[in-house]
Structure 1
Amino acid sequence: MSGRRDELAGNLAQVRARIADAAGRAGRSPEEVTLTVVTKFFPASDVRLLADLGVRHVGENRHQEAEAKAAECADLGLTWHFIGGLQSNKAAAVAAYADVVESVDRAKLLRGLSSGAHQRDHVVDVLVQVSLDTDPGDGGRAGVPPVDVERLAEQVAATEGLRLRGVMAVAPLGEDPLPAFAKLAEIAASVRSIEPSATWISAGMSGDLEAAVESGATHVRIGSAVLGSRPARR
């Protein structure tokens, strides 16, 4: 276990250095950027090691795995982010353990999320997932089209038990992420006009975190750069 801990510690140091370098180039403090480590397919034992190494935010994108892992690690006091595609019939169950739901891309999810938040007696932070694909009909990333973001943001803000925090997006496949993340920053500004406290911008993964941080991301979602190659699906 000490070998795995050392591996994670080294990887975390490298990722934190990358964040700090990118923030420095943008004239920002690295403290402005929250590192969320995505532990999909990795065991709860890794989550415990990460917590011991100072990680406070953990991301998951499969409901069953996330639910079980959050329960197993409930004593750690972590902030759990759900970042995967969300089915409306699973929304209440996700809100029962997730502190942050980053993948809200349609109003149909809000009723279930609100119900789960009430059952838990806990306000759930919500990000509107934005599609940055230039051709969204071509099997691209999930998310609401930019033209519809403000309307969905208003609906989130009006839903009891939910707190609009900002926006999330994934860079389009095979394209320079910088223009996409610059566009996301503009969309984020329009969301702040609806709710001034909705200041979060979740963008950037292992391969493009620098572009995200330089474009104003407040949260980055990092998997393989911290945990290594993803194990086979269990």
Structure 2
Amino acid sequence: MEAEELKIFVDNHVFDDYTAKQVRIISAAIDVFARKGYANSSTHEIAVEAGVAEGNIFSKFGSKHGLLEAIVQPVVESIFPATINAFISDRFVSDYQTLRDFFGTVLHDRAKFVRANAKVLRILIAELVYNQSVRDQVIKNVPAGYLIALNTKLNQLKATGELVNWDNRDILRMILSVAGGFLASTLFFDFQATPTMEDHLITALTKALTPDNH
């Protein structure tokens, strides 16, 4: 696994108390879980990929499920909220002149994040689908300021006549259904998104949510 793919763990100090061997185990587990899925993976193949004895996995993480939790829990409890807060600070403070500017900045930013963290996100999304407790934790850990900032930005775009005057929840459903499908295809079907394709997505959302088209 490339060091860049572990950057979000390093930046959020997840590995501060880990040995180099334990970091290799986490890295190998992310590779194997993302490639084969949790259910189809074994601690033996993770140990082989990490270049350690299988007992090293059990001594630190207890079980395969403990290893999964060591990946997912930091993402849900600290990395996810920190990433959202950084996103708010970086992207939601600007006064976007057009709806396309808004979608262009936000979606290019998120697409870049997804590409950089594709393996971890595959594992997290699989857990979100099958594990209610993980879904509950994600909802609980969404920073309160995120929804406030998002609603504020949508309302500003409505006030300038750039955004269709729908309920914000309906607008978000539209964005998630279109952008979410695009991003999911890059995560689970090895669909190689290009900047041109991202531009097409931005154009489609802009057209769908521009008042003149309704």
Q: Same fold (TM over 0.5)?
A: no
Q: Normalized per residue, which structure has more helix?
A: 2
Q: Which has the larger radius of gyration?
A: 2
Instruction: Give the alignment's TM-score, normalised by structure 1.
Output: 0.23
Q: Normalized per residue, which structure has more strand?
A: 1
Instruction: Give the alignment's TM-score, normalised by structure 2.
Output: 0.24
